[in-house]
């Protein structure tokens, strides 16, 4: 995987970060389209890395109760994976220089 691929993956993660910063409780965001579990077993390493990275980020947000996760079936093996914001706000973010960090490493602080 080259730096271009890593930048693309992190640009997808940045979309989630931006949504968290500007969204309100109850807002929805489609964070992935496809078949996430299947894409993590795909032969293309780029697809696998993207699917795993998105899952890492979203699972961390779910575990810290920042979002609730749902999915909508689009067709036989395709879904829209949706995050619903459940915590009032993300006050500040400190991003790491490491392009492969988890959400907890960017030090997301949520307003109580």
Q: For a pLDDT cut of 70, what percent of the chain falls above it?
A: 74
Q: 35-83: per-residue pLDDT in tens?
A: 988 888 888 888 888 999 999 999 999 998 889 999 999 998 899 999 9
Alpha helices (runs of H) in the chain, residue ranges in sequence order:
3-22, 36-39, 45-63
- The domain total for the chain is 1
Which has more pLDDT, 96 or 83? 83
What pLDDT was estimated at residue 26? 93
91 is in which domain, residue-wise? 3-110
- List of residues 6+ apart from 107 with CB closer than 8 A: 92, 93, 94
């Amino acid at each position: 995987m080259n730096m271009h691929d890593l930048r693309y993956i992190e640009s997808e993660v940045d979309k989630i970060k931006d949504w968290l910063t500007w969204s309100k409780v109850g807002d929805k965001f489609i964070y992935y389209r496809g078949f996430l579990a299947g894409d993590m077993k795909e032969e293309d390493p780029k697809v696998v890395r993207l699917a795993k990275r998105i899952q890492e980020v979203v699972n961390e947000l779910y575990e810290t109760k920042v979002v609730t996760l749902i999915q909508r079936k689009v067709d036989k093996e395709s879904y829209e994976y949706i995050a619903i914001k459940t915590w009032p706000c993300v006050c500040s973010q400190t991003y790491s220089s490491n392009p492969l960090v988890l959400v907890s490493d960017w030090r997301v602080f949520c307003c109580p």
